[in-house]
């Protein structure tokens, strides 16, 4: 399949918005879904909707097989050692909150240090901020380099024997920076700290290997990687997940319940209380098949070309500021920018009138906006269905918005 054919697999992209063919440049917020994902969910509800791990009836067995089959696909996708290390959650935010509540608040103590960066999404910042407050731990920030990257020298300077937990995003949803998480994990482990990687923006675009990265925890959202909303992954090394207290108590996660005490199922079910997100997991499994069929390396290469092209084209616009590292190997497939005299929300509105979808705002990264010294930015994010023509439309739209505001302001 070439990339033009790939786009045809996404039914939603075959439409006009405000009279123009849609140009979807907001995949970092959520990606579009290919036909096979929509059909997999449809087939579950049409043909074998049933609860899992309960009944012995045929539909129940089919649903259980499909649900557990999806777990196996996730395990292979991130190269985990075993399926016991794959917990289905609602998404990255839930996964990170589970780690904060069931690991950090349980096993860190007063005076311990938690190390993060100022480029974190709120979902990879507030859980640690709140956990630190609750247990009296100290939240510390690794300083960012001027180009919006994390330097290993600064990691080494920031970490010490009190550091017990490091949380870092693999790819920044604003700067696009790809952080050297493998090297950071090595430094963390040399100091006896546990490392948690927010892979919300890397799992859709980069080939992941949790054993090679040697991260202890990883959080992923299905909806950013061609899967449905409401499904995510918490990866954890088995010994750490085993140590964690359950996040939710109730059905599904118990082994034996007595009047005054209960015992839990083994991993991963101990951490999946209640009826799980069955359709979501099945849809995510189909998304993984789809991405793997194309190949994560092919997707990465395509996005690298797009982001380079976008850099060239956008840089040529007078009065534009582009944030994040310029070297293609240091960044993922998105470009965040501001245009003189045009508020990002106005820009997004004008682009929308031409059928172009971008995101504007603080992108759930207020501390990063502070570091950038702006209140908001515009962001165009690319995925496997985008093309250079989409970027040409973006550039045309930005020029139109700029011209409009220049006329209004003079």
- Cα 279 to the chain's mean position, in Å? 20
Q: What is the DSSP string of 35-49?
A: HHHHHHHHHIIIII-
Distance of alpha carbon 301 from alpha carbon 347, whole angstroms:
29
CB of 201 to ligand C6P, least distance (A): 5
CB of 203 or CB of 282, closer to ligand C6P = 203
Q: Is 118 in the site for ligand C6P (CB under 6 A)?
A: no
Element (H, E) at 66: helix 58-78
Which residues is 244 bridged to in the sheet? none
Span near ligand C6P by CB under 6 A; candidates 72-80, 128-136, 236-244, 358-366: 358-366
CB of 54 to ligand C6P, least distance (A): 28
**Interhelix angle 92-99/126-135, nearest 10 degrees:** 20
Distance of alpha carbon 243 from alpha carbon 259, whole angstroms:
24
Q: Is 31 in the site for ligand C6P (CB under 6 A)?
A: no
CB of 121 or CB of 164, closer to ligand C6P = 121
CB of 203 or CB of 314, closer to ligand C6P = 203
Q: What is the DSSP string of 278-327?
A: HHHHHHHHHHHHHHHHH-HHHHHHHHHHHHHHHHHHHHTSTTEEEES--S
Coil/strand/helix, residue 139 = strand
Q: Total residues at the site for ligand C6P (CB under 6 A)?
A: 17
The correct pick among 71, 73, 121, 362 for binding ligand C6P (CB under 6 A) is: 121
Distance of alpha carbon 390 from alpha carbon 23, whole angstroms:
6
Q: What is the DSSP letter of 273?
A: -
CB of 75 or CB of 359, closer to ligand C6P = 359
Q: Is 362 in the site for ligand C6P (CB under 6 A)?
A: no
Distance of alpha carbon 232 from alpha carbon 235, whole angstroms:
10
CB of 63 or CB of 334, closer to ligand C6P = 334
Q: Is 28 in the site for ligand C6P (CB under 6 A)?
A: yes
Whether 355 and 369 have beta carbons less than 8 Å apart is answered as no
Tell me, yes or no, if 364 is annotated catalytic.
yes
Which residues is 381 bridged to in the sheet? 26, 334
CB of 316 to ligand C6P, least distance (A): 26
The correct pick among 64, 117, 173, 393 for binding ligand C6P (CB under 6 A) is: 173
Closest CA to 361 of 350, 381, 376: 376
Distance of alpha carbon 127 from alpha carbon 107, whole angstroms:
15
Site for ligand C6P in 142-171 (CB under 6 A): 169
CB of 30 to ligand C6P, least distance (A): 7
Site for ligand C6P in 244-283 (CB under 6 A): none
Q: Is 92 in the site for ligand C6P (CB under 6 A)?
A: yes
The correct pick among 118, 124, 179, 377 for binding ligand C6P (CB under 6 A) is: 124
Distance of alpha carbon 148 from alpha carbon 365, whole angstroms:
13
CB of 280 to ligand C6P, least distance (A): 12
CB of 118 or CB of 124, closer to ligand C6P = 124
CB of 332 to ligand C6P, least distance (A): 10
Q: Is 357 in the site for ligand C6P (CB under 6 A)?
A: no
Binding pattern for the stretch 188-227 against ligand C6P, x by CB under 6 A and - elsewhere: ----------x-xx-------------------x------
Which of 196, 215, 364, 365 is catalytic? The answer is: 364
CB of 64 or CB of 169, closer to ligand C6P = 169
> How many DSSP H helices and E strands does the chain contain?
15, 17
CB of 357 or CB of 364, closer to ligand C6P = 364
Distance of alpha carbon 302 from alpha carbon 22, whole angstroms:
20
Element (H, E) at 3: helix 3-8
CB of 365 to ligand C6P, least distance (A): 8
Catalytically active residues are: 364
Task: Give residues in contact with ligand C6P (CB under 6 A).
Answer: 28-29, 91-93, 121, 123-124, 169, 173, 198, 200-201, 221, 359, 363-364
């Amino acid at each position: 399949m070439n990339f033009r054919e790939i786009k045809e697999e996404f039914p939603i992209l075959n439409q006009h918005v405000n009279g123009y063919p849609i140009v979807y440049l907001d995949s970092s917020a959520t990606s579009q879904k290919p036909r096979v994902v929509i059909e997999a969910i449809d087939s579950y509800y049409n043909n074998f909707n049933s609860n899992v791990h309960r009944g012995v009836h045929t539909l129940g067995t089919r649903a259980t097989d499909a649900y557990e089959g999806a777990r196996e696909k996730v395990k292979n996708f991130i190269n985990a050692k075993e399926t016991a290390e794959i917990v289905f959650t609602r998404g990255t935010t839930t996964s990170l909150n589970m780690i904060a509540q069931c690991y950090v608040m349980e096993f860190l103590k007063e005076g311990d240090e938690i190390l993060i960066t100022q480029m974190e999404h709120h979902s990879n910042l507030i859980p640690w901020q709140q956990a630190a407050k609750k247990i009296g731990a100290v939240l510390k920030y690794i300083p960012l380099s001027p180009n919006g990257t994390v330097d290993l020298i600064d990691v080494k300077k920031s970490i010490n024997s009190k550091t017990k937990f490091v949380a870092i995003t693999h790819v920044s949803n604003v700067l696009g920076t790809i952080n050297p998480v493998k090297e950071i994990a090595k430094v963390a482990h040399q100091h006896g700290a546990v490392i948690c990687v927010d892979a919300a923006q890397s799992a859709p675009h980069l080939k992941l290997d949790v054993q090679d990265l040697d991260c202890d925890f990883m959080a992923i959202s299905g909806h950013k990687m061609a899967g449905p909303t409401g499904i995510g992954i918490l990866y954890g090394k088995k010994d750490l997940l085993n140590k964690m207290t359950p996040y939710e108590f109730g059905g599904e996660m118990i082994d034996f319940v007595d009047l005054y005490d209960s015992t839990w199922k083994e991993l991963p079910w101990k951490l999946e209380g209640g009826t799980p997100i069955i359709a979501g997991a099945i849809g995510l499994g189909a998304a993984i098949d789809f991405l793997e069929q194309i190949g994560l390396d092919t997707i990465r290469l395509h996005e690298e070309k797009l982001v380079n092209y976008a850099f060239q084209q956008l840089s040529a616009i007078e009065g534009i500021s582009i944030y994040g590292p310029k070297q293609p190997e240091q960044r993922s497939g998105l470009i965040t920018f501001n245009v003189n005299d045009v508020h990002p929300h106005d820009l997004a509105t004008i682009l929308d009138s031409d059928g172009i979808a971008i995101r504007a705002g603080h992108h759930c990264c207020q501390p990063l906006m502070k570091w950038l010294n702006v209140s908001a930015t515009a962001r165009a994010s690319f995925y496997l269905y985008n093309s250079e023509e989409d970027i040409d439309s973006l550039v045309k739209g930005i020029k139109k918005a700029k011209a409009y505001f220049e006329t209004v302001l003079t």
